A = this chain, B = another copy of it.
Amino acid sequence: MKNMKISEAVVRRLPIYLRYLNELTMKSITTVSSQDLGHKLDLNPAQIRKDLAYFGEFGKKGIGYDVAYLIEKIQQILKLDRQIPVALVGAGNLGRALCNYNTYLKDQMKIVAVFDASPQKIGETINNLTVQPIEELKDAVTRLGVRIGIITVPAIEAQNVANQFIHAGIEALLNFAPVIIKVPSEIRLHHADFTTELQSLAYYLD
């Protein structure tokens, strides 16, 4: 099953599995079946087995999956076995909120630098990080080996910040600004957009 192209849907489920597996660890549960996982996560057990089988044979027939081993494997798949340095531009409320997620992200990912364009924000401290002027972005990205950029600036500035990230050599971007931005095809761009999320939710009201 190796070397197949993995669909985005599969990749998006892996962190969900990871989250539940971590919950099981905290409850000292050491084994889990696709049945259990499916029931808890509202997914088809066959789908879960298939998702995992793309990457290897992690389970034991008749037994299920060893929780600790599966966590390790999924972390490897998602490249969360090393620490991935992340930088954030936009030290407003949202940016500040995300910086506080460092705890949830464990050691696997870490926001290592925060930037803002407005002079009065420079020097502020957020969760042990000092807000730096945006002019320092390229230097810091290179120096700290930042691979993922987070954009939490107002909509009108988002494209500009994206350009600066790209110029600095970023590999992937997570954009929170409610605006369409364009990046070269080699940059992976994800959107985390509160407004579109709310708007699609409205559709399901009676």
Q: Which residues of chain A have a CB within 8 Å of any CB of chain B?
A: 11-12, 14-16, 18-20, 23, 40-41, 77-80, 84, 86, 92-94, 96-98, 100-101, 104-105, 108-109, 147-148, 155, 171-172, 174, 178-180, 188, 190, 192, 194-206
Q: Which of B14, B108, B196 contacts A16 (CB 8 A)?
A: B196
> Could you write out 16 A-B pairs with CB less than 8 Å apart?
A18-B199, A19-B195, A79-B203, A80-B199, A84-B202, A93-B94, A94-B94, A96-B97, A104-B195, A109-B199, A148-B198, A148-B201, A174-B198, A174-B201, A190-B200, A192-B192
Q: Dominant SS at the A interface? A: helix
What is the oligomeric copy number?
2
Which residue of B has the minimal Cβ distance to A179? B19
Instruction: Given A77-B203, A93-B96, A171-B205, verify A198-B19 contact (CB < 8 Å).
Output: no
Which residue of B has the minimal Cβ distance to A185? B42
Contacts of A205 in B (CB 8 A): 79, 84, 147-148, 171-172, 188
Most chain B C-beta atoms within 10 Å of own C-beta, residue among A180, A188, A199, A206: A199
Q: What is the bound-complex CA distance between A204 and B77, given in angstroms?
A: 10
Q: Is there contact, CB below 8 Å, between A198 and B109?
A: yes
Instruction: Given A104-B178, A180-B40, verify A197-B201 contact (CB < 8 Å).
Output: no
Q: Is there contact, CB below 8 Å, between B198 and A86?
A: yes
Q: What is the bound-complex CA distance between A85 and B93, given in angstroms?
A: 22
Contacts of A155 in B (CB 8 A): 104
